Structure 1
Amino acid sequence: AIGDRAMQLLLPMLFWYALLETAKLAAFSSSANEPGSVLQFLNDSAGTYWFIWAAFVSFLLVKILSIFNRRSPWILFLSVILVALAPVTFSISPLIRYTFPFFCLGVSFAQSREWWTSITRSHKPLLITFLSIAALVCFLAWRKDTYIYNNLALVHDMQSAKNVLLMLLGSAAASAIVIVLVLQCWKVGRSNRVTRFITVELGQSTLLLYLI
């Protein structure tokens, strides 16, 4: 599974970035034989496509933590806390803090899919109403400092804590609404061959769009 995930995430990224670098070298006649050029290449690719590296590292961490199968939920929760509290540096490592918690959240949802399905089926109208109100309130209160690129998900006073909390709640509520809408559309159109081809066959290749 690790090899498959590497082929899915890392190989297309490295190929695409190598293609771009080759075109850049041909256009600007830069020397590829300069000391540290290979290291610089890897560093630049990691910085440009940090979210793909972070997703792959998150996958590896969860795979390692899954060894403790019986205590998996608590291990995941503890690992999220440790990653969130990790000191910020200028390397790529801190960027995992923006991906790993949500990756673990998705894993937790997948592990308790039956429980969540039973809740959403019995309380779907109430849940959609609550999420819509929460998303609308967060959107109205949204400000410049709420964006992740400005607050960096760092809490250093009460105002920054409000900004980070607003960002997380608003994003989670809006994402949940979109997921519900997509699932409803899938229930309606999954019997259509064209719809199944677009969502199942082509949908698995859409990750490459992030490389463009």
Structure 2
Amino acid sequence: GVSERAMQLLLPMLFWCALVEIAKLAVFSPVTSVTGGLSDFSRELIGTYWFIWAAFTSFLLVKLLTIFNRLSMWIICASAIAVAFVPVTLSIAPLVRFTYPFFCLGFLFAQSNEWRTSIVLAHKSLLMLLLFTATCLCFLAWGKETYAYNNFVLIYDTQSGREVLLMFAGSAAASAVAMQFVIQCWRICCSSRVARFVALELGQSTLLLYLV
């Protein structure tokens, strides 16, 4: 539910950010600079941890769209395309635009679909080879303007369109390769009680893995 996801994402983020800011205030700042510390805390909370806010916002949007039942999958696909390419100039909106399409893609792949699963399993080796090749090619073409922080996922000419397309394609391919790598590592390490405790008991309910 929404409250459970908020406890998983927002509460650990608030705790960690507050802990870091208190430590910085105690070590580097005088006691009288409490107001400045609060200002730094708000900037840190919104800026540094933007991806957590974006992930939580994406979760809320997808949760809202699932009320349409059978049409929800098509609506989620359309919303992901719209969010990715409709021009938005608000300062934090481009960061949500970068996160939301990938969140939707992950949500759609998580739904049970026998024909898709059979195709992926039947051509897994070829698919991973193509994704790895695409990742390498995108990495070679990657530049400073390809990052979401710099291009703000905005398309206003041919060059910016190329950078945004490269960003989405490279990120999607690299994410798939990284996910497969993690799955293979988990198959090797899942017999370890320590690995199972960290991944299952701690990793799914907190941000401990990110903090580490």
Q: TM-score range by the shorter chain?
A: 0.7 to 0.9
Match of 1:111 in 2: 111
Relative to the length of structure 2, the TM-score reads 0.82
Measured on the aligned residues, the alpha-carbon RMSD in Å equals 2.8
The aligned amino acid for 2:111 is: Q
The total of aligned residue pairs comes to 209
Tell which deviates more after alignment, 101-110 or 75-84.
Answer: 75-84
Identity percentage of aligned residues = 58
Q: CA offset at residue 118 of structure 1?
A: 1.6
Q: CA offset at residue 178 of structure 1?
A: 1.9
Residue deviations 1:111-146, cap 9 Å, x none?
Answer: 145444322211112112211221222222223322
Relative to the length of structure 1, the TM-score reads 0.82
CA distance in 1 between counterparts of 2:205 and 2:4 reads: 14
Runs of 4+ residues over 6 Å off in structure 1: 37-40
Match of 2:138 in 1: 138
Q: 1:67 to 1:142 in 2, by over 3 A?
A: same
CA distance in 1 between counterparts of 2:32 and 2:117 reads: 56
SS in 1 for 2:207: helix
Q: 1:178 to 1:28 in 2, by over 3 A?
A: same
The aligned amino acid for 1:197 is: F
The aligned amino acid for 1:9 is: L
SS in 2 for 1:70: helix
Aligned partners of 1:13 and 1:211 also within 8 Å: no
Match of 2:5 in 1: 5
Structure 1 segment 56-67 matched on structure 2, within 5 A: 56-67=56-67
- Structure 1 residue runs of 5 or longer lacking an equivalent are none
Q: CA offset at residue 175 of structure 1?
A: 1.7
The structure whose RCO (Cα within 8 Å, separation 6+) is larger is 2
Structure 1 segment 66-145 matched on structure 2, within 5 A: 66-84=66-84, 85-90=86-91, 92-112=92-112, 114-145=114-145
CA distance in 1 between counterparts of 2:12 and 2:107 reads: 24
Q: 1:189 to 1:18 in 2, by over 3 A?
A: closer
Structure 1 segment 170-181 matched on structure 2, within 5 A: 170-181=170-181
- Structure 2 residue runs of 5 or longer lacking an equivalent are none
Residue deviations 1:29-58, cap 9 Å, x none?
Answer: 245469xx9788546522331111111111
